[in-house]
Amino acid sequence: MGTNDREGFNQPPFKDPDTGEFYKLNTAPDGSFVGEDIELIKSAVVDFLKMVRRSNPSSHIVWLYGMLGYDLSLTLADAVNCYKKETGDANAAYLQLPATNEKTVGSNGHPGYEAHKIAAEILVDYLKEHI
């Protein structure tokens, strides 16, 4: 998870139809991410992990990312670590997957069958070690 968050930086502002408020993830003129928006993503990741944990109190939670690029890798890994530190939950982890390439791409630039097969193999190997 996180790929759509990355693409959110390229999207026009979103207007909440109920409140009329606008939301936009921003980049600096040099193309780097604005720190305030990175902090919003981290906070959302921590909140999401807390929600997942409430519904799955004994599960090993693994945050997977990378099949469509690594732009938010450090942000997401840091967020998972912040969650673990804040909650004391040692039963959660971040796992980076290999990026989709010309041999593993599917429809419309999305990961294809081969990319998912590789990702599944990596996840299975990881889970065998950690469960």
| Cα–Cα distance, 131 to 112 (Å, whole number) | 28
Q: Copy the structure tokens of residue 3.
A: 């790929």
Closest by CA position to 103, among listed 94, 115, 88: 115
pLDDT at 79: 98
The whole model's pTM is what?
0.90
Q: What is the mean pLDDT of residues 119-124?
A: 97
Q: In which band, very low, low, confident or very high, does the pLDDT at 2 lie, cut at 50, 70 and 90? A: confident
Half-sphere exposure in the Cβ direction for 8 (13 Å, CA) = 18
Site of tokens 């980049």: 27
SS3 at position 81: helix
**Which CATH number covers residue 45?**
3.40.50.1110
- Residue 84 CB: number of other CB atoms within 10 A? 18
CA-based R_g, the chain, Å: 16
Summarised one tens digit per residue, pLDDT across range 8-66 is 888 999 999 999 999 999 999 999 999 999 999 999 999 999 999 999 999 999 999 99
Q: Copy the structure tokens of residue 108.
A: 């419309």
Q: With beta carbons less than 8 A apart as the criterion, state whether 68 and 99 touch.
A: yes
Count structural domains, the chain: 1
Q: In which band, very low, low, confident or very high, does the pLDDT at 1 lie, cut at 50, 70 and 90? A: confident
Range of the domain at 111: 3-130
Summarised one tens digit per residue, pLDDT across range 72-115 is 999 999 999 999 999 999 999 999 999 999 999 999 999 999 99
pLDDT at 8: 85
